[in-house]
Amino acid sequence: MKILFNEHPNKGFQRVGYCSYYGEIFYALEEVCEVTSSCGVPSRTSEFGSGYDAIVMGFGHTDCGDAGPMPTINDNNIPLFPILNKEYTGLKQKLEWIKNMKPTAALTVHHDTEDYSKITGVPFHRIMWSANENLFKDYSEDYKYDLFFSGVTRPEQTENLRERILSDMSSLSKYNLSINIRSHRTNYSGTIFSPEDYAKRLASSKICFITTGPADLVGTRYFEVMAGNRSLILCNRMTTDVYEDILIDGYNCVMFSDEDEFFDKAIYYLENEDSRMKIVNNAYEHFVTTQSWKIRANQIKNIIEQYTK
């Protein structure tokens, strides 16, 4: 099977760096099928040329805010698979873009595939992120931090849970914390770690506090922590349609429902190393066997093959 993977030129196919996971999915597909890359914003799909069994339009096309993607007319007979992204902004416009293209099927990391299919009349399939195992790994260094808490805070993230917990971090004052927050209150100003610094910070922290993002998205950090085999995922409890088989409470992560439970469980696992490492090791094994980029690429290949054979 020969696939053309088209990405928005503002995003490209970088292997390491900001939003590098946009490119990582392409390099994973290279390992399981014949795939060619291209960058551009076509007004018509005939601009992609011919000779392909399928065309995938990458994450960058819908990384466009509320304005929505540039219109694309689907005027060839090659099966077309756009990827929906950033579902928490401009969702109506993005779904309209997909509906108007009338693609073969669409892909998304979000769990609301049935709703998207009903709105657009296009079959939607859930795919998921993974992590670069060459970057997120055990660096064989001693732990420096008890808990890692980084990223942005937005009021729409599970009722502003991240800022609510941040405001009470004095409950963990006896522990060594790595906190690096960029808040909506300060226009998201602050430090962004280099990819290697970020990976090493995860690998040197005993616990990583993670929450689902806006629209209850399961972000890349879950997979990055699992791949590192060093840190325990402490995350907000969500329904099984959100987490599916990605996260299993007490097996490859520890979940909490409110601030009190967060602090209770953080302290428990910082004081019980054997229990912490049992879950960390389970998470790594779960990642290797079910969540790696190679597995993701084969899942995407299998979805496409449903429509191309």
pLDDT given at position 224: 98
What kind of architecture, by CATH, is found in domain 145-290? 3-Layer(aba) Sandwich (3.40)
Whole-number percent of the chain with pLDDT over 90: 85
Q: pLDDT (tens digit, 9 = 90+) per residue, 140-197?
A: 999 999 999 998 887 777 788 888 899 899 999 999 999 998 877 788 788 889 999 9
300 pLDDT above the threshold of 90 = yes
Could you tell me the residue ranges of all domains in the chain? 2-130+292-308, 145-290
Comparison of pLDDT for 14 and 48, the residue scoring more: 48
pLDDT greater than 80 at residue 14:
yes
- Residue 175 has what DSSP assignment? S
Tell me what the pLDDT averaged over the chain comes to. 95
Q: What is the pLDDT of residues 199-217, one digit of tens each?
A: 999 999 999 999 999 999 9
Residues 127-133, mean pLDDT to the nearest whole number: 96
Per-residue confidence (pLDDT) for residue 15, from 0 to 100: 82
Distance (Å, rounded) from C-alpha 58 to C-alpha 85?
Answer: 9
pLDDT for position 50: 95
Residue 95: the pLDDT is 98
> According to the model, what pLDDT value does residue 150 have?
92
Do 103 and 84 form a contact (C-beta atoms < 8 A)?
no
Report CA-CA distances (Å) from 215 to 53, 104, 112: 33, 25, 10
How does pLDDT run across 215-264, given as a tens digit for each residue? 999 999 999 999 999 999 999 999 999 999 999 999 999 999 999 999 99
Confidence at residue 140, expressed as pLDDT on a 0 to 100 scale: 96
**What are the two backbone dihedrals, phi and then psi, of residue 269, each rounded to the nearest 5 degrees?**
-75, -20
Please name the residues in contact with 269: beta carbons below 8 A apart, sequence gap of 6 or more: 206, 207, 232, 234, 254, 275, 276, 279
- Top-level CATH class of 2-130+292-308? alpha beta
Q: In whole angstroms, what is the distance from residue 199 CA to residue 208 CA?
A: 12
Give the Cβ contact number of residue 31 at 10 Å: 11
The pLDDT of 125-130, averaged and rounded, is 97
SS3 call for 223: helix
At residue 187, the 3 state secondary structure works out as: coil
Tell me, what amino acid is at 6? N
Confidence (pLDDT) at 152: 85
Which pTM was predicted?
0.95
pLDDT of 299 higher than 90:
yes
Give me the pLDDT at residue 12, please: 82
Average pLDDT (115-131) is 98
